[in-house]
Structure 1
Amino acid sequence: MCISSKICNRRRIKDISSIYWRYHWNGFCWWSPVPDILYRKLRKSTSLNDLDYSRTKTIYENEDFLALPKMADSKRIIYKIVEYDTLLDSSNMCMDDWIRIATDIYKYYKFYDGFVVLHGTDTMSYTASALSFILENLGKPVILTGSQIPLVEVRSDGRDNFIGALVLATYNIPEVCIYFDHRLYRGNRTRKIDNSSFTAFNSPNMPPLANMGVDIKIDWDNVFPASSHKMRVQTELCRDVGMLQLFPGISSQTVKAFLQTPLRGLVLESYGTGNAPSNRPDLIKSFHEATNDKGIIIVNCTQCPVGSVSCSYATGKVLMEAGVIAGFDMTPEAALTKLSYVLAKDEWDIETKKKMMSSNLRGELTIKCQDKLILRDFEFLNAIANSLNLSTSPEIKDLQISLFPLLLCLAALSNDVKTMEMLLEKGGNVNMADYDKRTPLHVASSQGNLTIVNYLLEKGASVFVKDSFNSTPLYNAIYFKHFHIIEAMTRVGAHLVMPPTEIGDHLCQAAMRNDAESLKAWYLAGASMNLTNIDGLTAYSTAKKYGCLQSLAFLESVSKTPITDTNGIDSYPLHN
């Protein structure tokens, strides 16, 4: 993220896009993809691009960057459109396209705070589900959106969807999501439910992660935690998967024909809570032979939009006894893409793959959990609640939301893992922020408390969240020169997302102060020592100019063993 001296917080969003144009014929109309029309339309749109602002901000030398008009909180969202050479209707999407999108996100992952993917609605839920599994250890938001009417049309819903997705892509929601009609959904929980209204998508078994009204309300309790490992992409998917829906009178010949080699995985859409005809031994035998003799993994999902697969009825138990795995409340789209992902894991044996299909990998399954609203063990919180005459659950919940961030930050300040663990058990969240938007990881990084830093990273604390001073935990560790903290965070994927001239300015100032330790901190964080400040000076030329011998000695030593994976000027900002 870039900063423009007290004016705005600049966030760059990559957008992989396609756009449609309408054709008319005898009173009918249809849409077909047209290259390069999106960028041209957006650049001229006053609601989607502040042209004067884009022109005056020379920190982004590439003119392809666009900027939303300034929002109420004075923030700016800077974004860049990247369009594929061959535009696709979403009905033509395939697994190769999922992998292509994922690898492009990985390629530019270090240079952007979030990613928006413009996508046709027909197969958007499949792509969102697939990306949620392919993008392993995701730490930044990836939001798919689109429209029922193309963005270039006057009555399009695309404008609101596009702006909403860009705004939410600046929040610390490390998931693949779908944003549509003022709601943000977990991508692998969605289904397209309507092809003629603006409410095209729904998440039948899970509430939205965010609602966009006058205020933006994020359901932080349901946001899937970030991973404590570096993001990577699984580029291999198993293509030998399929779907089969049961229907009254389905023949065993049809089922047997479907369960032939090379099929390796099947999503079986059953009745109700996972039921199949128990009076059809021919069908059950076919499923048993497939799972036990052929090693085909069959996942049982309900045909009902709402609800979960269980074994409450005898008709449901027959599938389980035949070796069919319960898919619980997974959508068919999530089950299919998850099967493709799991089956491609050659390092897992068949039993592990079956176990993974029943496990919650990316929030695709509902996990029953205890109510976290438990304050009885905190006597002083009860005292506060009583003194304020708070008695209802919403009131106590508001008190919890207000006080827990401070308590978590105090535990981080004290390097107190035991208290931190207790707070998390009682409803705290590792990414809760205080009045300055500082998370416990910000505090622990500033203090150099390695024990609590490692604990927070294990619990899914985000290394990318920014406080009100626009600082990440990594920047705090650099500023206070806590080398062990920098190394711990870079191991899990933390990296610098700053303009090269800004990093260059920090390096030159450190060199001029003869502060070799600050130079080392920036170096460990991945900064290239060859970056220049706004005057074109490097840290080395600055140190030489002012005769700073300690800085010169450090710079000469690292020049012999440069870091290859850096935030260097050659790779920033993004160029096509």
Structure 2
Amino acid sequence: MVRDENGILKPEPQVLERRLRSFPQLHDVAYASANFSEAEKQPLILPRTGDPNRVLYTIYEYHPLLDSSNATMDDWIRIALDIKEHYEKFDGFVVLHGTDTMAYTASALSFMLENLGKSVIITGSQIPIFEARSDGRENLLNSLVVAGNYIIPEVTLLFNNKLYRGNRTSKVSASDLDAFASPNMPPLATIGINIDVNWKSVFQQSSLEKFRVHSKLNRNVGLLRLFPSITVEVVRAFLTPPVQGVVLQTYGAGNGPTSRKDLLDEIKRASLRGILILNCSQCAQGRVDTAYETGNSLCEAGVIPGSDMTPEAALTKLSYVLSKTEWSLCTKKQMLQANLRGELTVLKLAKLDDFDLITAVAKTMQISSAEELESLQTALYPSILCSITAKGDLEKLEVMRQFGAYLSACDYDFRTPLHIAACEGNLQVVEYLLRKGASVHMRDRDHNTPLMSAVIWDQHDVIKILTKAGAHLSLPPTQLADALCTAARNGNVKRLESFLLAGASMLEVDATKRTCMHVACEANQEKVLRFLLDSGIQTQLSDVYGHTPRDVAELLGHHHLVALIDNSYVSDSVQKSVNSSYSP
């Protein structure tokens, strides 16, 4: 937002990136100049913040820019699809958004981004970022630091040094800098001198499927707030077609007027017609409880309890569930009550509250306070988890999980249990960890993901299940090409197969435009060449000297390799001839 000549705040295009490049806390000019040429567009780079990674970021600006009060479901879909398009290029995403409808967007994206494995943070400001007293610069800086250094696989909302689960938030103030609240759930992270993440509260996916976007939403939904003496005509009008779903905001713990039989009958008739009616409290804190007669009567009329969902989460969830045409009406009702993305509280049985090893160490160190014990657990759990994982002990892993251990916790080398299991090739442990929410995108000290660890150790079965769960290679193209060329030079067919299973292109070129096939011909690696030809890799690419792999083999006198390549040409020609003769 920029003030016009009349002092009115309006969206102004093509300003943000140019101005941010002049903010030293948001762009390190010296680092950018030293590491990127002037000919290429330099990314924006955060100065050192004391966090493990240096954050590089790119800005994509929408046209036209919108005031968030004008945002629609189409804009939610557009944001979701843009994240999908760039998902494998970046480690995290920050969406700059106006505050008025930010909670709606965060809630909607949380449902639309299915099997999310990376951080998506929505943020903005109460005072525009270019104003002298703006809170926007700090919100943006914190969002970039979190998205670039922490894998919190949720759609979150960051505001005023707190990171909330997006579908748990509501805007609670039009004027305070502390504009958002999460009434029924504490923040996922608090930002002070240090960034403290409550990893136990991070939502853990249990699916082994890849990230995808559900880009359809049902628009025939609405919010109906009960008030004393509301007429049956108002309720009837609200429940008539094309309306297919309604969030009913009731009193207290989900209560409605039992004395109003006309209202209850109208609601029941709508429910029998297939309209989904979701019960949410008008109170910011607390949850819907059918223990009261006034709440139970609504339940008997077909109203679905919404637990402690915010109105924003309830409305967007209703829109999402109704758009799932493959689900039956019964399934849709069940899904509205299910905890899909951490949007509602599920009451759990009390977990075990003692652990022999931790207790013994605590006694030895004379630790007595809850804070000290928590710090001890945080320090010891990662190493214990990695040790148990290396032994493949599923039973002990489950015990640790029940004691509250975070299964993506990092050891001193930033390795997670999934890194260890991937290296060991223990398929059962890998699948267990994935089903319990372990992240496939965490990086160790060498910046290797679990998938890259599996590639390095040639664990083919593990590579298959990790890619199925959404893992992907994140090496820069030239670095990937160097790794492929090294494997080809060494005759390491198994490593090339590992890269191929992980989704690598065998056509990546190094600094001299050579592919791994060029190197195989140069190093006289017949097995490698056979593997590449059998995998359908093209042979006509030229390096900087204009040489194809065949040219390299011929120049070096590797005539048997020349014959292999020539035979592949003949086989390809015959196959194309057969295909064309059978084409309609």
Q: What TM-score do the two structures reach when normalised by structure 2?
A: 0.89
> CA offset at residue 556 of structure 1?
2.0
Q: Quick one: distance in 2 between partners of 1:116 and 1:395? A: 34
Question: What does residue 570 of structure 1 align with?
Answer: none
Q: Closer, same or farther in 2 for the Cα pair 1:72/1:404, shift >3 Å?
A: closer
Q: Quick one: distance in 2 between partners of 1:61 and 1:506? A: 27
Is it true that 1:23 corresponds to 2:1 in the alignment?
A: no
Please point out which of 164, 177, 182 is paired with 2:142. Answer: 164
Structure having the larger proportion of residues in strand: 1
Q: Which amino acid aligns with 1:506?
A: A
> CA offset at residue 373 of structure 1?
5.8
> CA offset at residue 416 of structure 1?
1.4
Is it true that 1:66 corresponds to 2:66 in the alignment?
A: no
Is it true that 1:483 corresponds to 2:463 in the alignment?
A: no
1:44 is paired with a residue whose SS is: coil
Q: Closer, same or farther in 2 for the Cα pair 1:322/1:73, shift >3 Å?
A: closer
> Which residues in structure 2 correspond to 1:81-160 (within 5 Å)?
81-160=59-138
2:274 is paired with a residue whose SS is: coil
Contact 1:243–1:267 at 8 Å: present in 2 too?
Answer: yes
Q: Closer, same or farther in 2 for the Cα pair 1:413/1:534, shift >3 Å?
A: same
> CA offset at residue 240 of structure 1?
0.5
> CA offset at residue 249 of structure 1?
1.5
Q: Quick one: distance in 2 between partners of 1:125 and 1:460? A: 25
Q: Which runs of 4+ in 1 moved over 4 A?
A: 59-62
Is it true that 1:253 corresponds to 2:210 in the alignment?
A: no
> CA offset at residue 469 of structure 1?
2.1
CA displacement 1:132-154 (0-9 Å, x = unmatched)? 00011100010000111111222
Question: What does residue 408 of structure 1 align with?
Answer: 385
Please point out which of 420, 433, 451 is paired with 2:428. Answer: 451
Question: What does residue 328 of structure 1 align with?
Answer: 307
> CA offset at residue 285 of structure 1?
1.2
Contact 2:352–2:403 at 8 Å: present in 1 too?
Answer: yes
Question: What does residue 515 of structure 2 align with?
Answer: 538
Please point out which of 352, 357, 360 is paired with 2:331. Answer: 352
Question: What does residue 178 of structure 1 align with?
Answer: 157
Q: Which amino acid aligns with 2:253?
A: T
Contact 1:373–1:397 at 8 Å: present in 2 too?
Answer: no
Q: Quick one: distance in 2 between partners of 1:195 and 1:498? A: 44
Q: Quick one: distance in 2 between partners of 1:440 and 1:552? A: 36
Q: Quick one: distance in 2 between partners of 1:133 and 1:379? A: 40
Q: Quick one: distance in 1 between partners of 2:159 and 2:515? A: 46
Q: Quick one: distance in 2 between partners of 1:263 and 1:223? A: 34
Please point out which of 421, 424, 442 is paired with 2:419. Answer: 442
Is it true that 1:474 corresponds to 2:456 in the alignment?
A: no
Greater RCO, CA 8 A, separation 6+: 1
What is the Cα-based RMSD across aligned positions, in Å?
1.7
1:230 is paired with a residue whose SS is: coil
Count residues in correspondence: 537
Q: Quick one: distance in 2 between partners of 1:398 and 1:149? A: 37
Question: What does residue 221 of structure 1 align with?
Answer: 200
Q: Quick one: distance in 2 between partners of 1:32 and 1:146? A: 15
Q: Quick one: distance in 2 between partners of 1:62 and 1:323? A: 61
Is it true that 1:379 corresponds to 2:356 in the alignment?
A: yes
Q: Closer, same or farther in 2 for the Cα pair 1:558/1:58, shift >3 Å?
A: farther
Q: Quick one: distance in 2 between partners of 1:313 and 1:269? A: 16
> CA offset at residue 330 of structure 1?
0.1
> CA offset at residue 64 of structure 1?
4.9
Q: Quick one: distance in 2 between partners of 1:533 and 1:273? A: 64
Q: Quick one: distance in 2 between partners of 1:544 and 1:381? A: 57
Contact 1:64–1:81 at 8 Å: present in 2 too?
Answer: no
Q: Closer, same or farther in 2 for the Cα pair 1:230/1:61, shift >3 Å?
A: farther
> CA offset at residue 398 of structure 1?
2.7
CA displacement 1:372-405 (0-9 Å, x = unmatched)? 4622xx4343322222223343333333222222
Structure 1, unpaired ranges of 5+? 1-19, 563-576
Question: What does residue 212 of structure 2 align with?
Answer: 232
> CA offset at residue 184 of structure 1?
0.3
> CA offset at residue 551 of structure 1?
2.3
> CA offset at residue 58 of structure 1?
3.9
Question: What does residue 37 of structure 1 align with?
Answer: 15
Is it true that 1:263 corresponds to 2:243 in the alignment?
A: yes
Q: Closer, same or farther in 2 for the Cα pair 1:48/1:300, shift >3 Å?
A: same
Q: Quick one: distance in 1 between partners of 2:230 and 2:8? A: 37
Q: Closer, same or farther in 2 for the Cα pair 1:383/1:61, shift >3 Å?
A: farther
Q: Closer, same or farther in 2 for the Cα pair 1:172/1:388, shift >3 Å?
A: same
Q: Which amino acid aligns with 1:125?
A: A
Q: Which amino acid aligns with 2:159?
A: F
Q: Quick one: distance in 2 between partners of 1:54 and 1:36? A: 21
CA displacement 1:8-39 (0-9 Å, x = unmatched)? xxxxxxxxxxxx111253xxx32111111111
Is it true that 1:429 corresponds to 2:406 in the alignment?
A: yes
Question: What does residue 264 of structure 2 align with?
Answer: 284
1:384 is paired with a residue whose SS is: helix
Question: What does residue 580 of structure 2 align with?
Answer: none
1:298 is paired with a residue whose SS is: strand
Structure 2, unpaired ranges of 5+? 540-584
Contact 1:59–1:499 at 8 Å: present in 2 too?
Answer: no
> CA offset at residue 460 of structure 1?
1.2
2:196 is paired with a residue whose SS is: strand
Q: Which amino acid aligns with 1:381?
A: I
1:345 is paired with a residue whose SS is: coil
Q: What TM-score do the two structures reach when normalised by structure 1?
A: 0.90
> CA offset at residue 200 of structure 1?
1.0
Contact 2:507–2:537 at 8 Å: present in 1 too?
Answer: no
Q: Which amino acid aligns with 2:223?
A: M
Contact 2:440–2:451 at 8 Å: present in 1 too?
Answer: yes
Greater Rg by CA = 2
Q: Quick one: distance in 2 between partners of 1:60 and 1:442? A: 38
Identity rate of aligned residues, in percent? 48
